[in-house]
Copies of this chain bind each other. A is one copy, B any other.
């Protein structure tokens, strides 16, 4: 049996309406294509993405910083309570075959860093861009729409799985 594709959606625990709309559509697209969504389980981008995925019958996993599963947003079906604070950011991205970042602040940047460090592809929607010692680092793959982000994530996830 094939393992299911698991895609992480990362972004701020608080977000503006535009980001919430993007995240919700990312969640919907992932569910329509049969991918499992993993995220940090809290509000903002995480909640919007889970809401979108749930509405389309998808599976949602929330990897929480605290010890209480009940802190998960209401659209998380499978809450994982780590009790490890922001170290849970690592588990969010390591559990995915590709990562989609929507907006986000420094916590999101830590997740992007961990993903790139481990060779997990990162697709960005209105998110960070990076320069290293004055030279642009183009590792974050830009997307212009939720559908394009999900397309790219699923294609790159397949390649990653093949290794």
Q: How many residues of A contact B (CB 8 A)?
A: 48
The interface stretch among A24-32, A44-52, A99-107 is A99-107
Q: A95 contacts the other chain (Cβ, under 8 Å)? A: yes
Q: A143 contacts the other chain (Cβ, under 8 Å)? A: no
Q: Which residue of B lies closest to A70 (CB)?
A: B3
Decide if the interface of chain A is mainly helix, strand, loop or mixed: mixed
Contact with B along A116-131 (1 / 0, CB 8 A): 1110000000111111
**Contacts known (A3-B69, A113-B107); A85 close to B86, Cβ less than 8 A:** no
Known A83-B87, A85-B85; further 19 A-B contacts with Cβ < 8 A: A63-B80, A79-B95, A80-B80, A80-B91, A81-B94, A81-B95, A82-B95, A83-B86, A84-B90, A84-B91, A87-B87, A87-B90, A103-B133, A107-B113, A109-B113, A128-B132, A129-B130, A129-B131, A130-B130
Question: Residues of A with Cβ closer than 8 Å to B?
Answer: 3-4, 6, 36, 38, 59, 61, 63, 67, 69-70, 77-87, 90-91, 94-95, 97, 103, 105-107, 109-110, 112-114, 116-118, 126-134
10 tightest Cβ-Cβ pairs between the two chains A and B: A110-B113, A106-B117, A87-B87, A109-B113, A81-B94, A82-B91, A106-B116, A83-B85, A129-B131, A106-B113
Interchain residue pairs with CB less than 8 A apart (6): A59-B78, A69-B97, A84-B90, A84-B91, A103-B133, A113-B113
